[in-house]
Structure 1
Amino acid sequence: MGLTGKPLLILAIALAVVLFTVTVWCWPRLARRSAPAVLGRVGMLLATQVAVFATVGLLANNSFLFYGSWADLFGRKQELGVVTDHASGTLAAKNIVRVGSQRPDVPGGALPRVGGRIDKVVIAGKRSGIESSAYVYLPPEYFQPAFARRKFPAVVVLTGYPGTSENLIKGLRYPRTAHERVKAGRAQPMVLVMLRPTVAPPRDTECVDIKGGPRTETFFADDVPRAVSAGYRVGKRARNWGIIGNSTGGYCALKIGLHHPGRYAASAGLSAYYKAAEDPTTGDLFHGDEAARRRADLLWTLDNRPQPDSSFLVTSSRHGEANYADTRKFVAKVKQPAQVSSIVLDSGGHNFNTWRREIPAALEWLSSRLSES
């Protein structure tokens, strides 16, 4: 029984109701002062409270997808094997392997030409040496004869830390939102490459190339576009690629877009921060290299490095977000030839509900700045 499935949630609710009812019914019979009666009361109260807390926890996890599976909850790694197929022209030879597929949660999702398809893949980075699983959403047009020769624009979509890539499908609903925007005539069909920035779990690398450690920036800036454009019909130029993320993923998206305009023409940070975190989850990212630390500070980079010919989107809320002041600073520091746009809500916290309010407009913005090959 899956951690995020409805059956487990229904079972937990039913168990909590049954235990509550049994406790109320048995309480008069356990009113005596004998040791068995006292132990019975304690046991029933404890069981009822555990059931209630479990139900609340499952409800919260189903809404925000903090954990995507039992293995994720208990910290067990689930490494996917990578098949090396030496026949030329295969996906494996291009460092991307499809290991499964699923239907999107959209009308007609059973038919790829109507609802599109979500592939689960493993990307093996040639330059970084990093291997990571990802989900690739292919829009319905990808399977339609009228678009058979088209190379689509692509968008890398990143979760926060320590989120799972499933969050992007189930919690933030990127494929469904992209499908709806295209159907409404508000966006062009785009391929979405959805993954988490935590490529060396449980460490939060902040999308930094760490000396002697994971080369996360290289993986997202170089390996991912190369692998995906080799395995799918997407363009290879910067104008064909965008990147978006929330929280840590938002910082990564803006950072990679700022430092790699030759790979990404547009970058969007939802509730992003603007300087690499350094805490117990990150470890020593810079090993005393102050130049690398300054480079990871986006506000410093805008002040001290040539600005790229690319576009940025940042989001915040006047009430409820801690990044509001720094977001205003980022907007003020962007100069030509770079361009900046923003989404500022009156109120909204650092959570899925806020990001779901921003994603439709963000996807439309990305669509307007990317082109097919």
Structure 2
Amino acid sequence: MVGAEDPPGSTIPPRVLDQLAGGGDWISSWWTVAVALALAGLVVLWAVRRHRADRWSWPLWVVTALGVAFTLGIAANVIVGYVPNVAAARVSLASWGIGSPPPPLEHGSAEARSGGAGSGRVEAVHVPAPAADRMPGSSLTWIYTPPGYEAGSTRYPVVYLVHGSPGAGGDWFAAGNVPHAMDVLLENHLVEPMIVVGMDVNGTGPSAEDTECLDSTTGGSQVETYISETVIPWVDARYRTADDWRHRAIGGFSSGGFCALDQGLRHPELYGAILALDTTGDPGTGGQAMLATQAQWDQHDVTTYAKTVPLPHPVALFVDIAGANHGQPRADLTSIAADLRARGEDVVVREEQGLDHTLNFARQAIPYGLVFASAHLADKS
């Protein structure tokens, strides 16, 4: 049992953390960087020797340049954590419209392997949007269903996750490794079975790749409407969801975390819990491009309205901060958490020590958020 001093989402047992860790391969390994650098060095020595012997060496210099570029790309991926493994790369590429998504996978990661009774299912779907939403027609929504979903009649809570900017709907299922996290947490009885949905909130028009989940007043997408009136009803109609605020959460990282805060607090009729990971409390430059006036921007400034926004029922808040990030996200999230806690809301604040504002942080933080969400969404009928 979790004591009052150790609420759900604040800790995860070390043995479970060991199971959650890993999942990477050569594409996210410093060993790959070291080997690639060593090979590049050998090619340079070879090229120098050929040059001194008055033999053609330019092909070797081309190979060296390509090798250095490859090495820098792998190093950047290790630091940022965008693509933990080759299979996750397919999810990311499909989210960006490059190649086809993998078929429904009977397991809890973006890696094709045989599934079993303890593994969930991942699929990529198109959610058709009406023309008035002004959303791209090719975006993918990624959906995790828990073990046993297909064989039963149970209705499940849903956690909606929003990517950062730049990003795409598959980020939580690739870089975030959410399906694997769900399988591990379920196996260790830290969460109840839930459906997890990775939404794509990239739009069209001004600030197409940083919509902040807003309804644009400058000719762009109507993303807030798309989420609340298109995606959620579509998922509820096609999956066995428990379709009320008591069983629905929204979360995200970076600009997706702002989306979770703003949508979760402005739409308590839809959500009962919010997961905000290292984000700011205002719409930022994306909001300035999406909205025509300062007054409209101010209406979405969570740091201002958190004290007074009408909340007809409890809305629980989970906050996680990147420990190495001492900028606006820390200040804003600390302020918003304090405001909601003062209003009597259930608030948990964590910090991931030593991590910066990267997808490595998001991947480490999201299991805690899922535990928190499950505790607040389970059996609230």
TM-score, normalising length from structure 1? 0.78
Native 8 Å contact 1:206 1:248 kept in 2: yes
1:330 to 325, 328, 336: 336
Q: Which residue of 2 aligns with 1:64?
A: 82
Matching of residue 175 in structure 1 with residue 196 in structure 2: no
Deviations 1:98-150 (A, max 9, x none): 99422334699634644121111111235735354111101112134xxx221
Give the percent of matched residue pairs that are identical in Structure 1 and Structure 2: 22
Matching of residue 371 in structure 1 with residue 378 in structure 2: yes
Native 8 Å contact 1:68 1:166 kept in 2: no
2:128 to 124, 129, 148: 124
Offset of 1:292 from its aligned partner? Answer: 1.8
Matching of residue 102 in structure 1 with residue 116 in structure 2: no
**Farther off after superposition, 42-51 or 264-273:** 42-51
Comparing both structures, which one devotes a greater share of its residues to strand? 1
Which residue identity does 1:355 align to in structure 2?
A: A
Change (3 A) 1:71 1:300: closer
Q: Secondary structure at the match of 1:344?
A: strand
Which residue identity does 1:369 align to in structure 2?
A: H
Between the aligned partners of 1:218 and 1:79, the Cα distance in structure 2 is 29
Matching of residue 319 in structure 1 with residue 335 in structure 2: no
- Two-structure CA RMSD over aligned residues (Å): 3.7
Offset of 1:306 from its aligned partner? Answer: 2.7
Q: Which residue of 2 aligns with 1:284?
A: 289
Q: Which residue of 2 aligns with 1:352?
A: 359
Q: How many residues align?
A: 341
Alignment of 1:27-106 (within 5 A): 27-31=48-52, 40=57, 44-45=60-61, 47-58=63-74, 60-61=76-77, 63-65=81-83, 68=89, 100-105=103-108
Native 8 Å contact 1:99 1:122 kept in 2: no
Between the aligned partners of 2:102 and 2:26, the Cα distance in structure 1 is 25
Native 8 Å contact 1:119 1:136 kept in 2: yes
Offset of 1:23 from its aligned partner? Answer: 3.4
Change (3 A) 1:357 1:5: closer
**Farther off after superposition, 43-52 or 242-251:** 43-52
Matching of residue 253 in structure 1 with residue 282 in structure 2: no
Native 8 Å contact 2:93 2:99 kept in 1: no
Native 8 Å contact 2:107 2:115 kept in 1: no
Q: Which structure 1 residue ranges, 5 or more long, are not aligned?
A: 81-97
Native 8 Å contact 1:16 1:48 kept in 2: no
**Farther off after superposition, 118-127 or 252-261:** 118-127
Offset of 1:221 from its aligned partner? Answer: 2.5
Offset of 1:5 from its aligned partner? Answer: 9.3
Native 8 Å contact 2:203 2:220 kept in 1: no
Deviations 1:318-365 (A, max 9, x none): 533422122211122114353322112343210122222222211100
Between the aligned partners of 1:5 and 1:163, the Cα distance in structure 2 is 22
Change (3 A) 1:12 1:311: closer
Between the aligned partners of 2:144 and 2:91, the Cα distance in structure 1 is 25
Change (3 A) 1:165 1:337: same
Native 8 Å contact 2:275 2:318 kept in 1: yes
Between the aligned partners of 1:108 and 1:19, the Cα distance in structure 2 is 32
Q: Which structure 2 residue ranges, 5 or more long, are not aligned?
A: 1-23
Q: Secondary structure at the match of 1:171?
A: coil
Native 8 Å contact 1:121 1:133 kept in 2: yes
**Farther off after superposition, 165-174 or 18-27:** 18-27
Q: Which residue of 1 aligns with 2:215?
A: 209
Native 8 Å contact 2:47 2:60 kept in 1: no
Which residue identity does 1:176 align to in structure 2?
A: H
Native 8 Å contact 1:244 1:269 kept in 2: yes
Q: Secondary structure at the match of 1:319?
A: coil
Change (3 A) 1:177 1:12: closer
Matching of residue 21 in structure 1 with residue 42 in structure 2: yes
Native 8 Å contact 2:210 2:255 kept in 1: no
